[in-house]
A and B are shown apart, each in its own frame.
Chain A
Amino acid sequence: MVSIEPSRSRDLDKLLLRPGNIVAPTFEAGAQLREDIKEYVRILVVGAGGLGCELLKDLALSGFRNLEVIDMDRIEVTNLNRQFLFRHEDVGNPKADVAAKRVMERVSGVDIIPHFCRIEDKPLDFYNDFNIIVLGLDSIEARSYINSVACGFLEYDADDNPRQETIKPMVDGGTEGFKGHARVIVPGVTPCFECTIWLFPPQVKFPLCTLAETPRTAAHCIEYAHLIKWNEVHSGKAFDPDNPDHMQWVYSEAVKRAELFGIPGVTYSLTQGVVKNIIPAIASTNAIISAACALETLKMVSGCSKTLSNYLTYNGVEGLHTKVTEFVKDKDCLVCGPGVLLELDTSITLKKFIDLLEDHPKLLIAKASITYRGKNLYMQAPPVLEEMTRSNLDITLFELMDKIPEDTIHATGLAGKGETKQSSLRKLRVVFKGLDGVTDVDMAGGA
């Protein structure tokens, strides 16, 4: 048999082996680059659905060898039209397992490790292991979670510049019917998901009384069955959108409701769409968006061309429109922003710390409430929580932060002077002075 290696990388070689003039400053053309991509670059693909299948294929064919994929779903019959790595006999099997296996069968040399679990089930270290995280997801929650994990690795230096080696880039794809987006998120450099969460329109929610009294559309009938009828009949049992029996029940109730009001159009797939807030997926939109994401990943890794800056939208609803928008970071973003650096003595009590926030020129937060990694250290209100947290006031902050020399903490309160006070929520980077292994930071405002 003839070796397929040379022909397989032929097109890629044109990008990687030759110098160019629109390349990144770090670009070093040559065979070494191609080999380095194979050996060193580790990519996580989040999601093995419509986009995920495309992404795995595209990345594998772009010369990446070390891929992992995470997805909690099993294959359903309705996936087969576009999630092209799956066959009829795969229905019921984990998407991640089957997708990994199929791409490895087709693309020799690539190694794909599947993870059949929820993204929240993995420890944070798992995510830190990858050089780039590529997202092929259909939910805001999941994107927001991965974004907060990736931005959580980001560290800033004393001048509020991101430390290069702590940046965990993400490439995010998303599609809805004929529309899609591809974006590059370099935490600390380009806006993170949370900086621009307003880009995602909130889900349309029908008033419950409309569902109960005056349904007019098939979606109203489905939401009635899902939100009202389900609870009436299954008191206490939670509806699980991933349970086909539950979905079938909602579908048949929606049909009854629709017949009662003479409303056409309730189908099983519409039921799934409305309940899970899914718009019918189109194979080619997934292919286009995934191709853009894979290419951006390759560009970011190799420097062989300038990367997308930073948000591509694709719209094929009427004709075809694409647009690239350069969104800007929210400098006060709680997730990716540097926060305000505070250098403190280990002896400062929580009470003194709260007083300090009021006097700090960059903060001026009066009556702050403090939260640290899910522990509410002090709450000004309501009285029930104030009472529960009051005893922390005389404990040192160092102790309350588990004696970690440097970490992020959040404060809320009224900020500003005089008449212009407004409610604010701020990220603070606390560094304790005089501890081993902590570099001294030039910073006023210590206790």
Chain B
Amino acid sequence: MINLFKVKEKRKELAENANGRPPVKKQSAGELRLHKDISELNLPKTCGISFPNGKDDLMNFEVTIRPDEGYYMGGTFLFSFQISPIYPHEAPKVKCKTKVYHPNIDLEGNVCLNILREDWKPVLSINTIIYGLFHLFTEPNHEDPLNHDAAAVLRDNPKLFESNVRRAMAGGYVGQTFFPRCV
């Protein structure tokens, strides 16, 4: 090994005299895997995706969901995705940017979806997550509450829950909380 190092020293001297390559960007393994996920996206018409930082930054993007059935039909909900350089070893960080009256999404945009935390597996993909989010709107679940009040209303009085959702989406108060219009 040591002889190799001496050779390297010489090589380095030579290289320093020549014109080096321009500095290049490193693409992490996470970025490459994400590139694959994104290029294979197969979204339903109810879901859209956009890249605020342009076509070369896939690590931060936004997903729009427009449910076509259920309590949230007609609403538009925006989610931000933040991907780690060690994706898919680590799940994406997903936040709901639209303030929503929902048992599994709190008022700060935290989302209770199992595959985003305890059940994330590297074989899952961005497509799986988007379908999971879509599913939250067609079948909100009072058993995994993040918005405690909304969950209780859904469990005890689905009619009232439905009218609360309508009121919130149209832009109005549910209890003390104001929800901006999202239809």
Query: In whole angstroms, how far apart are the Cα atoms of A300 and B5 in the complex?
Result: 12
Size of chain B's interface in residues, with CB distance under 8 A? 63
A68 smallest CB distance to B (angstroms):
16
Query: In whole angstroms, how far apart are the Cα atoms of A124 and B86 in the complex?
Result: 19
Asked if B167 is at the interface of the complex by the 8 Å CB criterion, the answer is no
List, sorted by A's number, 10 A–B pairs whose CB atoms are closer than 8 Å. A40-B2, A141-B84, A194-B29, A205-B120, A207-B144, A209-B144, A334-B29, A376-B55, A410-B27, A412-B35
B38 A301 Cβ-Cβ under 8 A = no
Query: In whole angstroms, how far apart are the Cα atoms of A123 and B23 in the complex?
Result: 8
* Smallest Cβ-Cβ distance to A194: which chain B residue: B29
Counting chain A CB atoms within 10 Å of each CB, the highest count among B5, B51, B148 belongs to: B5
Query: In whole angstroms, how far apart are the Cα atoms of A124 and B26 in the complex?
Result: 9
* Smallest Cβ-Cβ distance to B119: which chain A residue: A207
Asked if A217 is at the interface of the complex by the 8 Å CB criterion, the answer is no
For B23, the chain A residues whose CB sits under 8 A away are 123-125
Query: In whole angstroms, how far apart are the Cα atoms of A144 and B51 in the complex?
Result: 25
Chain A: interface size category: 35 or more
For B22, the chain A residues whose CB sits under 8 A away are 402
* Smallest Cβ-Cβ distance to A228: which chain B residue: B110
Q: Which of A372-412 contact B (CB under 8 A)?
A: 373-376, 379-382, 384-385, 388-389, 402, 404, 410, 412
B27 A382 Cβ-Cβ under 8 A = no
A379 B26 Cβ-Cβ under 8 A = no
Query: In whole angstroms, how far apart are the Cα atoms of A11 and B20 in the complex?
Result: 43
Q: Which of B128-151 contact A (CB under 8 A)?
A: 144-146, 148
B90 A165 Cβ-Cβ under 8 A = no
B84 A209 Cβ-Cβ under 8 A = no
B111 A208 Cβ-Cβ under 8 A = yes
Asked if A303 is at the interface of the complex by the 8 Å CB criterion, the answer is yes
Query: In whole angstroms, how far apart are the Cα atoms of A208 and B116 in the complex?
Result: 10
Residues of chain B whose beta carbon lies under 8 Å from any beta carbon of chain A: 1-9, 11-12, 20-33, 35-36, 38-43, 49-51, 54-56, 58, 84-86, 89-91, 104, 106-112, 114, 117-118, 120, 122, 144-146, 148
Asked if A290 is at the interface of the complex by the 8 Å CB criterion, the answer is no
For B41, the chain A residues whose CB sits under 8 A away are 381-382
For B58, the chain A residues whose CB sits under 8 A away are 376
For A213, the chain B residues whose CB sits under 8 A away are 145, 148
For B110, the chain A residues whose CB sits under 8 A away are 208, 227-228, 231
Asked if A140 is at the interface of the complex by the 8 Å CB criterion, the answer is yes
A148 B29 Cβ-Cβ under 8 A = yes
B107 smallest CB distance to A (angstroms):
8
Query: In whole angstroms, how far apart are the Cα atoms of A373 and B50 in the complex?
Result: 21
* Smallest Cβ-Cβ distance to B9: which chain A residue: A40
Closest 9 CB pairs between A and B? A369-B39, A205-B117, A209-B144, A412-B36, A209-B112, A231-B108, A374-B25, A425-B36, A388-B55
